[in-house]
A = this chain, B = another copy of it.
Amino acid sequence: MLKVHQHTFNLTAAQCNAQRELAPAMLTQHIIECATEHADILGCGYRRLQADGMAWVLSRLAFEMKRYPGIFEKFTISTWIEDFNRHFSQRNFDIVSAETGETLGYARTIWVAIDLNTRRPANLEAISAIAETVTDRPCPIERPARLRPVAEPTDTRNYQFRLSDIDFNRHVNSARYVELMLNTLTLDDFDSAFLSRFDIEYKLESYFGQEATVSSAISTGRATMDSDIAVEGRHVCLSRSVMTPRAVPYSKI
């Protein structure tokens, strides 16, 4: 079985963010896509789990980037399984420039399966064969952090989930939460610095029409931001962003 799956992307102009780079939310989506593709190839994807009344749910994600792919740059995301048991699967990633060969960053994810009827954690024993694909390929970044809700927000705003926020599972899209939290920051923040580390913990699903509150605490100097999104008084996800100054600030064209 193919222990490492690779997907090469081409960052088109239309996909770039304001700094002409891959946006962190798009990186998140690509990471989820690569995981999904590899799981499909290994015969343990959504369709296989659905046959057993289960579905994969992304529980935690962390990524650390030295640099984001730039406009017109080709880059390859590789993914592999570091650990697997009947409770969860731990899947890692690296992101490499296909142009320069430079490793741009790494990501770690933790996936659980839920029972589609009870929405409770399911037992992954039925697909334990994928334990054979576990590999010790290195992923030299810290594991996804345990996060807490924001105690004293410096910024709070409301947002109602609408049509374009909903994914094929009828939940709010995992990458959309990343956008909503990073949208607390400004263009100036991303012109002068870049998101060097991002941790997110997905706790609950949320749905079309729900009213969410996005709360964030930005540190003095704007080097870190803790965020959470709450719906009906319950936290649906938590995140922590670390911003590192750019060697050269992005210059507007």
Chain A residues with a Cβ under 8 A of chain B: 12-18, 20, 23, 25, 29, 32-33, 36-37, 46, 71, 162-164, 166-170, 173, 175, 179, 182-183, 185-187, 190, 208-209, 252-253
Contacts and interface: CB of A to CB of B under 8 A. Distances in A.
A63 to B, nearest CB: 16
From A14, A33, A169, A183, name the one whose CB has the most chain B CB atoms within 10 angstroms. A14
A18 B182 contact: no
Nearest to A25: B164
A187 B179 CA distance: 21
A51 to B, nearest CB: 13
Contacts of A167: 14, 16-18
Given A29-B14, A163-B190, A168 B36 contact: no
B18 A36 contact: no
Nearest to A170: B18
Given A170-B18, A187-B163, A12 B25 contact: no
A166 B186 CA distance: 11
Given A182-B163, A252-B170, A36 B13 contact: yes
A120 B16 CA distance: 25
A142 to B, nearest CB: 25
Given A12-B33, A33-B14, A185 B163 contact: yes
A124 B164 CA distance: 36
B17 A168 contact: yes
A36 to B, nearest CB: 6
Contacts of A187: 163, 166, 170, 208
Contacts of A33: 12-15
Contacts of A14: 29, 32-33, 36, 167-168, 173, 175
Nearest to A11: B168
A169 B179 CA distance: 19
B166 A183 contact: no
Given A23-B164, A168-B71, A36 B12 contact: yes
Contacts of A169: 253
Given A17-B163, A18-B170, A163-B179, 13 more contacts: A12-B37, A14-B29, A14-B36, A14-B168, A16-B167, A18-B168, A20-B168, A71-B168, A163-B182, A163-B190, A164-B179, A169-B253, A187-B208
